[in-house]
Amino acid sequence: MGTAAVHLLLLLGLLHAGPGGEGRKGWRRRGPAARERGEAAAAAAAESFPLDFTAVEGNMDSFMAQVKSLAQSLYPCSAQALPHDLRLHLLHNASVTCNDGSPAGYYLKESKGSRRWLLFLEGGWYCFNRENCDTRYDTMRRLMSSREWPATRVGTGILSSQPEENPHWWNANMVFIPYCSSDVWSGASSKSEKNEYAFMGALIIQEVIKELVGKGLSTAKVLLLAGSSAGGTGVLLNVDRVAEQLEEMGYQGIQVRGLADSGWFLDNKQYRRTDCIDTITCAPTEAIRRGIRYWNGIVPERCKLQFKEGEEWNCFFGYKIYPTLRCPVFVVQWLFDEAQLTVDNVHLTGQPVQEGQWLYIQNLGRELRNTLKDVTASFAPACLSHEIITRNHWTDIQVKGTSLPRALHCWDRSLHESNKNGKAPLKGCPIHLIDSCPWPHCNPSCPTIRDQFTGQEMNVIQFLMHMGFDVQKMAQQQGLEPSKLLGMLSSGN
């Protein structure tokens, strides 16, 4: 055996050495980081899937560089051929289609040996009548047709195959389901002489599940149905249905879970009421009311029974459907979501906001925070943004010192432990993380803000001043000296 092979075996041996083994000492640091690595290794063993490098998370960059270098020196051909791309598969059932009648489909990257599957629902607003669907088709055709979809996609964020970017799910079977139904993944109507467009979002998910069963999903241990924006709402609408479908197919052993990113919208009163002309100007409640009729939208039966006939639109709002769900769901939501502000007619166009807008924005954060208080697993940073889990920087955002990947890993572990020991919370492994600071971007780990006109980066204080934030007045309201308030803002307190 060559020297490189010996080095590789020694490195991998460090991952599997017992807690008291001498080989682990060089990798161990005291405190939370050491606990995290030990917990991750234990969870990996329990889940029975291949090597999970969370055991050396604190030294991940140098460790992965060494492993990749050694792998390429040992197996130069196969190392270059590692399949990092997700490949397009159009549905065999040609009757389940995108809006324009072209076949729906999915992108897949298999991970042989892994029993974890991640299915991601793409987002991208919706349309709710013939006129705005025509406009959508002219301007955003890829969200209504598969005719120009590329043959492959590269996964990013939680869909990435790189452990540095995706420390806990990099080795899962990855499925990206493009959004081409414009119905928040709820529709069940086909294209016909009467219907210019098909709306089959709910049926597309069901059909993808059927096909994946023949590609290895049948042996899965965990299926995580994730989605962002309209896809996040789609998770809430479909996660129980996916679990029921798999049970009916005879796969009761698969644990189905949901991860809803930026899809937890409020049916609140708009800042400024406007006529319901298109997706942007229409109040969320009215748009969904019209849409659900136009799409022949379906909602989970348990939620539907909570409301009167004709009031099914309520189930599109997270805080109303969540209490009815059987599957565990992790909710990721910016407290100051840009899409929510858009439909509420608060437009931050670079001009200082008026006092009424500023109060409205603060109140929005409070309202959203209140709707999440009884959500078992949640991650809600006080940032002005939209979508996160497929962004390259998704590992950088923290709430109370915990990153989103870490919180998701703790959630994974809590679900695994609860199956064995009841629901005792795991020490030092938080899963309910909601920022308490009251202003947009008061969390210092928020994504970078850029001036819309100059393109220059702004820090928190510059951003708040830019929005018309009155430091003197706000300090007075909080009973603080202005200098102390500015210091608190700078540090994110």
In the residue annotation, 229 being an active-site residue is answered as: yes
The DSSP output letter for 352 is: P
Phi and psi at residue 154, to the nearest 5°: -100, 125
Nearest Cα residue to 258 out of 286, 237, 285, 277: 237
Residue of 111, 145, 229, 262 with catalytic role: 229
pLDDT of the residue at 312 = 95
Would you tell me how many other CB atoms lie within 10 Å of the CB of residue 252?
9
Is residue 235 within 8 Å of 258, Cβ to Cβ?
yes
Amino acid letter, residue 126: Y
Distances in Å between the alpha carbon of 13 and those of 9, 24, 472, 477? 6, 9, 59, 58
Our CA angle for 241, 247, 252, nearest 5°, is 130
Residues 59, 11: Cα–Cα separation, whole Å: 12
d(Cα 362, Cα 303) in Å, to the nearest integer? 30
pLDDT digits (tens, 9 = 90+) for 22-36: 333 333 333 444 444
Active site residue 161: no
How do the domains of the chain map onto residue ranges? 83-443
Q: Is the dihedral of CA 232, 233, 238, 239 positive or negative?
A: positive
Half-sphere exposure of 141 toward its Cβ, with a 13 Å CA cutoff? 8
Give every CB contact of residue 371 below 8 A, 6+ residues apart in sequence. Answer: 264, 266, 318, 319
For residue 221, what are its two tokens?
Answer: 């241990």
- 351-385 confidence digits (pLDDT tens): 666 778 888 999 999 999 999 999 999 999 999 99
Distance CA 311, CA 254 (A): 32
* Residue 337 among the catalytic residues: yes
Nearest to 172 by CA among 88, 256, 89, 110: 110
Query: What is the DSSP annotation of 91-139?
Result: -S-TTSB-TTSPBPEEEEE--TT--EEEEEE-------SHHHHHHHHHH
Fold of the CATH domain 83-443: Rossmann fold (3.40.50)
Tokens encoding 350: 């670079």
Q: Can you tell me the distance from the alpha carbon of 332 to that of 421, in angstroms, rounded to the nearest whole number?
A: 26
**Tens of pLDDT, residue by residue, the chain (493 residues):** 554 444 444 444 444 444 333 333 333 333 444 444 444 444 444 443 333 444 444 444 445 445 444 444 444 443 344 456 999 999 999 999 999 999 999 999 999 889 999 999 999 999 999 999 999 999 999 999 999 999 999 999 999 999 999 999 999 999 999 999 999 999 999 887 778 999 999 999 999 999 999 999 999 999 999 999 999 999 999 999 999 999 999 999 999 999 999 999 999 888 888 888 888 888 889 999 999 999 999 999 999 999 999 999 999 999 999 999 999 999 999 999 999 998 888 877 656 667 788 889 999 999 999 999 999 999 999 999 999 999 999 999 999 999 999 999 999 999 987 655 445 567 789 999 999 988 888 898 998 776 555 556 666 666 666 666 666 676 677 677 766 666 665 554 4
- Closest listed residue to residue 151, CA positions, set 83, 67, 220: 83
Minimal CA–CA distance to 93: which of 209, 182, 215?
209
- In one-letter notation, the amino acid at residue 484 is K
Q: What is the pLDDT of residues 232-277, one digit of tens each?
A: 999 999 999 999 999 999 999 999 999 999 999 999 888 888 888 8
Cα 312-315-316 angle, rounded to 5 deg:
110
Euclidean distance between CA atoms 416 and 218, whole angstroms? 20
Judged by phi (left if over 0) then psi (alpha if -120 to 50, else beta), residue 185 lies in left
Please tell me whether the overall predicted TM-score, pTM, comes out greater than 0.85 for this model.
no
3-state secondary structure of 86: strand
From the candidates 168, 386, 416, 432, give the one annotated as an active-site residue: 386
Contacts of 435 (CB under 8 A, 6+ apart): 335, 369, 380, 381, 382, 399, 400, 442, 443
Distance CA 409, CA 429 (A): 9
Comparing C-alpha atoms, which of 277, 183, 295, 192 is closest to residue 230? 183
- What gap in Å lies between CA 180 and CA 363, rounded to an integer? 34
Check: CB of residue 411 under 8 Å from CB of residue 404: no
- Other CB atoms within 10 A of residue 419 CB: 11
- Among residues 183, 337, 344, 435, the one annotated as catalytic is 337
